[in-house]
Chain A
Amino acid sequence: MFEMTSRKITHDELISKVEDDKAGAIVFFDGRVRNHNEGHKVSSLEYQSYEAMAIKEGQKIIDEAKELFDFHHAYCVHRVGHLQIGDVAVWVAVSTSHRELAFKACQFIIDEVKARVPIWKKEHYIDKSPEWVACHQCAKHSHGSETHSHHHMEA
């Protein structure tokens, strides 16, 4: 399942979405707002989405991952709104019988979400005016084949 939210998600909620007696492995990823990007000091990030399309596109990604990795459950939720340093912007959780596919599915889901789901972020800086993050090098490639991206998270 893929969702958009304007509130913080707890670890217990994430677990409840994917736990299963059949699952021997659960892999979680959270992507956090960090305090720097490309040499600038970031003070906060503002996320905006095309929500109806984001949910459709996100669900397609979950369905594709199911075909590829045959997990028991997968859940991804992305936040919108104005987030501060250290806040979590996106969570992914995947449960599988064995760990290998859980790691692979989790990586696939976050990579595809970043490449395809219509979500935008405006970076607010300590040392200059805010800007929408626009990766022109990415835009020359089709969705899903980024060779260069703006990362705000531990990846």
Chain B
Amino acid sequence: MKLQMKYFAAIREACGKSEELLETNSTNTHELFEELTNLYGLQIDKKNLKVAINEEYSSFDAKFNELDIVALIPPVAGG
């Protein structure tokens, strides 16, 4: 399926892009994290990440649907 990926902060720098349409076999964020780590050499600990699916915080177990907007969320640091 295809996912609309959004990349931020250190992840954006590792990927070299802010977004992409990703053709993937990953069915949830656990699998997607492994895929992106292999693809882009992410050096980020999974336990420090959250995930947003369609602009809402979600769980790593949630199943993706075609064209979901997915963003790995590094520890936030607003303020």
A152 CB-CB contact with B under 8 Å: yes
A56 CB-CB contact with B under 8 Å: yes
- Let me know if B77 and A133 touch, CB within 8 A: yes
Cβ proximity bits B24-59 to A, threshold 8 Å, 1 near / 0 not: 000000000000000000000101111010011100
Which of B45, B48, B56 lies in contact with A56, CB distance below 8 A? B56
- Let me know if B55 and A134 touch, CB within 8 A: no
In the complex, the chain B residue whose C-beta lies closest to that of A4 is: B78
- Let me know if B75 and A89 touch, CB within 8 A: no
- Let me know if A53 and B55 touch, CB within 8 A: yes
A50-B71, A143-B57 known; A116+B76 contact, CB < 8 A: yes
Which residues from 106 to 155 on chain A have a C-beta closer than 8 Å to any C-beta of chain B? Answer: 110, 113-122, 132-136, 138-140, 143, 150-153
Give the interface size bracket for A toward B.
Answer: 35 or more
In the complex, the chain A residue whose C-beta lies closest to that of B44 is: A134
B9 CB-CB contact with A under 8 Å: yes
Which residues from 30 to 67 on chain A have a C-beta closer than 8 Å to any C-beta of chain B? Answer: 31, 47-50, 52-53, 56-57
A93 CB-CB contact with B under 8 Å: no
Most A CB contacts (10 A, CB to CB) among B57, B73, B77 go to B77
Interface residues of A (CB under 8 A from B): 31, 47-50, 52-53, 56-57, 78, 89-90, 110, 113-122, 132-136, 138-140, 143, 150-153
Interface residues of B (CB under 8 A from A): 6, 8-10, 12, 45, 47-50, 52, 55-57, 71, 73-79
